[in-house]
Amino acid sequence: LSGGIARRLISTTASRSNFLKESPNAFLNKNLLNRYTRLKYDPKLVQATYVWIDGTGENVRLKDRVLNKIPEKPEDCPDWQYDGSSTYQAQGGNSDIAIVPRALYKDPFKVGEHDVIVLCDTYKPDGSPCETNHRAAMQSAYEKTKDVEPWFGLEQEYTFLDVDGRPLGWPVNGFPGPQGPYYCAAGAEKVVGRDIVEAHALACLYAGVDFAGTNAEVMPAQWEYQIGPSLGMKAADDLWVSRYILWRIAEEFGVVVTFDPKPMEGNWNGAGGHTNFSTAPMREEGGIKAVEEAIIKLSKEHPKHIKAYDPRGGKDNERRLLGRLETSSIDKFTWGVADRSCSVRIPRGVAKAQKGYLEDRRPSSNMDPYSVCNAILTTCLVD
């Protein structure tokens, strides 16, 4: 076994590998649940799944509660709390972390017409945001910049793994043929896990995520989907909810999803979280000038952005931003038109129309979109 996540998954789960291997999730008879989903209960009762980011900054946690009123906005859902000592966010003695509802989605997993996913952010006992709550900072940057209507479009790349930590469908001993035939491909010998991809798209559309598309990626078992473009907080909120939905659906299929930015070392593409950004002036006639001004500002803050673009302050991107395999070098800021080896790319269509948006290719696939979007708003519009 080679490769970052494969090795790490196995080392961190060495004692649990039997748990994973023998996990019955995929093999339980899902039809049995249907007997209970037919049961009628008080239609005023709503099941709400509260979702929040834990102390890793890259995983979510959730718990369910029953509300006795249909919520129409996040504020209609009560604040709640959880045990932060079990999510790497607190010591046992003072362990309550407060969660505050921020965005509502229709729940694609529960059967009630009004059941919801409640996306929350997290606060310490003294009222300050938790270390991994980057939403609070982005919200305040957005308040300062909403006049120019910032839009974000997020590309989420990810990889399916089998429960043994190898990419799904890869031979147990050895490797698939080299990259080339897999990107945007069709065919059983080229593509793995499309059922999960399609189920995920449907569930996100149902939920109210601004889901915008999917494609098979360059490395076999790797995929991408896109969110947006969406105004303000919406793309970042939607990305977290779409990740949660993907984990849940893959759980049912008995497949592991990793957002690790370099699941396999060697000549295998890593995974990115390309972040596309525009403002009203960029989208107007001749907006290319505003696009270029933003790129010049970004070029002066490269180290600050690398720090914000993965959950380990740049450590994860050290494995991915190698200056080859469609990535720029981590040490140097570069930009260009239609160039996928740059830090920031102006898509050809934007150069042609002389207006539109820029694509920041540096964020890793496991980035926190609040942290990335906050850095972009701050550098390009606030500072």
Enumerate binding residues for Mn ion (CB under 5 A).
155, 224, 274
Q: Read off the amino acid at residue 181.
A: P
Span 203-222, contacts to ligand ADP by CB under 6 A: 212
Tell me how far apart the alpha carbons of residues 74 and 103 are, in angstroms, rounded to a whole number. Answer: 5
Q: In 137-150, which positions are buried (b, 16+ CB within 10 angstroms) versus exposed (e)?
A: bbbebbeebeebeb
Among ligand ADP, Mn ion, none, residue 328 binds (CB under 5-8 Å by kind)? none
Q: Kindly list the distances between the CA atom of residue 317 and the CA atoms of 201, 260, 320, in Å, as whole numbers in the listed order.
A: 27, 10, 5
- Residue span binding ligand ADP (CB under 6 A) among the ranges 27-35, 198-206, 277-285, 292-300: 277-285
Told to check if 3 binds ligand ADP by CB under 6 A, we report no
In the beta sheet, which residues pair with residue 154?
A: 227, 275
Cα separation values, 309 from 118, 134, 159, Å? 25, 12, 19
Chain position whose Cβ is nearest to ligand ADP: 153
> Is residue 170 within 8 Å of 220, Cβ to Cβ?
yes
Across 262-297, b (16+ Cβ under 10 Å) vs e yields bbbeeebbbbbbbbbbbbebbbeeebbebbeebbee
369 touches ligand ADP by CB under 6 A: no
- 3-state secondary structure (DSSP) of residue 224: strand
> Please, what is the minimum distance in Å from the beta carbon of residue 344 to ligand ADP?
12
* 17/179 with CB nearer Mn ion: 179
- Out of Mn ion, ligand ADP, none, what residue 287 binds, judged by CB under 5 to 8 A for its kind, is none
Residue 138 or 227 having the CB closest to Mn ion? 227
Nearer to ligand ADP, 67 or 239 (CB): 239
Residue 356 interaction partner, one of ligand ADP, Mn ion, none, beta carbon < 5-8 Å per kind: ligand ADP
Q: Between 191 and 239, name the residue whose CB sits nearer to ligand ADP.
A: 239
Least gap, CB of 139 to Mn ion (angstroms): 26
The mark string for 154-173 relative to ligand ADP (x by CB under 6 A, - otherwise) is xx------------------
151 binds ligand ADP (CB under 6 A): yes
* Entry field: residues in the chain: 383
Distance CA 314, CA 320 (A): 10
Residues that bind ligand ADP (CB under 6 A): 151-155, 212, 226, 228-229, 274, 276-278, 283, 356-357, 359
